[in-house]
């Protein structure tokens, strides 16, 4: 591998905010460029154990802690650092505090208003529809009456999504699928928790009908890099993160993505996900991001390093001309993909032979790197401890006599009612 440590030409510090495997990918790119890398993230995140990354003790995965540290005197020694967002929550924080933060740090390209718009799924879908991008039927829902009215216009199944991704936990997931009107209306109490949601028709077909377009756009809207990939599986099916990605070139997705980003006057990183609708053959919009995504390790390995372009742009360095990238490269998330395989296998939609042949082509992994093994070790040890702890709890429950378990349950209930 070529040594890139002098490519940015001068001393640069960068703070990676939040994220998971994408944060690690961004941090590794920064390190390879010779930057000083710091992270604000949860203590368990593997990026904190990456070679060349300094953990900021004041950090945490919430906007209040970021604001307290970045806008307080404790971060004065990092004045002038680049701030790179790796989650929706981080984008929201940087966009809302852009005025104050820009006086002390260097922010990514892109108008704060545009980045905030793309965090709002309802406004995103409405903008896409107005720009001529194919969409399914969708409605903003706030109450039972809204859901009752919307259900009459929908073709089921229907998907309920939180308008803002941080609300996913309160909704019960980033996507909740209802197969019929009764099941859909039973979701209404979730809205009483204050969750804003968008209801939309579910596009039939498997997750292998999903694809994505990425670009980095300059101030004139010219693409400094373009990339597409397709999805083979998600975990869990239909509702989870991608567990098996493959690089390709999809001119149809690229054309729609360019049209959408031009209508937004987007600058910097853009990513849009589509799914092909078998009812009319069209690619229809699923999601839009203006940040580094979980697929970033695949982009970097294939030859499209959005971090390097971002750093060059923000530090006034020349950016390399758009280059071709490796097609057919696979990013595989082993544990998650195995769970999805079992789901599909039970449904007789895939066999062991096909799955083993597919995973044998994997060359990119979310955390593993021979040059930087600690994050992968930390991630896998953490998962092993979690699984072992779960087994212990299940074993204790199985070995507890029913009478004792019943008394323990009543005792706990009594304690919870105590003043």
Q: Please tell me the predicted confidence (pLDDT) of residue 378.
A: 84
Given pLDDT bands bounded at 50, 70 and 90, which one contains residue 418? very low
92-110: average pLDDT: 97
% pLDDT > 70, the chain: 89
> Per-residue pLDDT tens for 350-369?
999 999 999 999 999 999 99
- For residue 4, pLDDT over 90 is answered with no
Mean pLDDT of 315-319: 92
**pLDDT for the residue numbered 191:** 83
**Tokens 């004139």 belong to which residue?**
220
330 burial level (CB within 10 Å; 0-12, 13-18, 19+)? buried
Per-residue pLDDT reduced to its tens digit, 207-239: 999 999 999 999 999 999 999 999 999 999 998
pLDDT of residue 156 exceeding 80, the answer is: yes
- Alpha carbon of residue 211 to chain centroid: 15
**pLDDT over threshold 70, residue 261:** yes
Predicted pLDDT at 170: 75
Sheet holding 158-162, edge to edge: 138-141, 197-201, 158-162, 176-178
- Report whether pLDDT(407) > 60: no
Mean pLDDT, the chain, as a whole number? 89
> Alpha-carbon distance 257 to 362, whole Å?
27
Asked if 175 contacts 241 with a C-beta cutoff of 8 angstroms, the reply is no
Residue 275 has pLDDT above 50, yes or no: yes
Count the Cβ atoms, other than its own, within 10 Å of residue 143. Answer: 11
**Percentage of residues of the chain with pLDDT beyond 90:** 72
Average pLDDT over residues 394-398: 69
Which of 101-110, 190-199, 292-301 shows the lowest mean pLDDT across its residues? 190-199
Nearest-CA neighbor of 238 among 133, 293, 160, 134? 160
Using the structure block, give the residue that is written with the tokens 């971060």. 75
Whether the pLDDT of residue 9 is over 50: the answer is no
pLDDT higher at 195 or 302: 302
Residues 6+ apart with CB under 8 A from 64: none
Q: Is the pLDDT of residue 163 over 80?
A: yes
pLDDT: is 400 or 365 the higher one?
A: 365
Query: How much is the pLDDT for 192?
Result: 75
Is this structure's pTM higher than 0.75?
Answer: yes
> What's the pLDDT band for 301 if we cut at 50, 70, 90?
very high
pLDDT of res. 99: 96
Q: Which of 118-122, 128-132, 136-140, 172-176 is predicted least confidently? A: 172-176
**Residue 151 pLDDT exceeds 50:** yes
Q: What is the model's pLDDT at position 394?
A: 65
Residue 111 pLDDT exceeds 60: yes
Q: Which of 27-36, 61-70, 192-201 has the lowest mean pLDDT?
A: 192-201
Q: Which residues of 392-402 are buried (b: 16+ CB within 10 A; e: fewer)?
A: eeeeeeeeeee
**Given a cut of 90, is residue 16 above it in pLDDT?**
yes
């Amino acid at each position: 591998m070529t040594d890139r440590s002098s490519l940015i030409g001068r001393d640069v510090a960068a703070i990676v905010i939040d994220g998971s495997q994408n944060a690690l990918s961004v941090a590794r790119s920064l390190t390879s460029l010779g930057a000083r890398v710091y992270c604000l993230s949860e203590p368990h995140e593997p990026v904190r154990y990456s070679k060349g990354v300094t953990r900021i003790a004041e950090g945490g995965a919430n906007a209040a802690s970021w604001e307290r540290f970045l806008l307080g005197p404790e971060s004065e020694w990092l004045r002038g650092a680049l701030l790179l967002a790796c989650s929706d929550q981080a984008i929201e924080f940087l966009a809302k505090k852009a005025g104050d933060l820009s006086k002390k740090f260097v922010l990514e390209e892109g108008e704060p208003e545009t980045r905030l718009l793309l965090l709002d799924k309802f406004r995103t879908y409405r903008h896409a529809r107005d720009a001529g991008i194919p969409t399914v039927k969708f409605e903003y829902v706030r109450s039972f009456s809204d859901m009752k009215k919307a259900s009459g216009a929908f073709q089921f199944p229907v998907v309920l999504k939180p308008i803002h991704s941080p609300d996913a936990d309160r909704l019960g997931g980033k996507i909740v699928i209802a197969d019929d009107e009764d099941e859909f209306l039973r979701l209404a109490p979730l809205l009483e928790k204050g969750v804003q949601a968008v209801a939309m028709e579910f596009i039939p077909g498997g997750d292998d009908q999903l694809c994505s377009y990425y670009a980095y756009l300059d101030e004139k809207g010219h693409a400094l890099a373009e990339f597409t990939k397709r999805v083979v599986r998600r975990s869990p099916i239909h509702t989870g993160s991608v567990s098996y990605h493959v690089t390709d070139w999809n001119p149809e997705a690229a054309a729609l993505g360019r049209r959408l980003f031009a209508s937004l006057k987007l600058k910097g990183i853009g990513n849009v996900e589509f799914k092909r609708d078998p009812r009319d053959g069209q690619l229809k919009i699923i999601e839009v991001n203006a940040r580094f995504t979980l697929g970033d390790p695949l982009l970097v390995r294939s030859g499209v390093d959005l971090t390097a372009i971002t750093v060059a742009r923000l530090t006034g360095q020349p950016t390399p001309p758009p280059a071709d990238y490796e097609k057919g490269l696979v990013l595989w998330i082993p544990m998650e993909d195995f769970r999805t395989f079992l789901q599909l296998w039970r449904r007789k939609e895939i066999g062991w032979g096909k799955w083993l042949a597919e995973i044998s082509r994997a060359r990119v992994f979310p955390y593993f790197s021979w040059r930087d093994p600690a994050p992968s070790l930390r991630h896998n040890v953490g998962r092993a401890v979690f699984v072992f702890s779960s087994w212990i709890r299940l074993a204790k429950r199985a070995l507890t006599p029913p009478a004792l378990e019943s008394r323990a349950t009543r005792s706990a209930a009594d304690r919870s009612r105590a003043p």
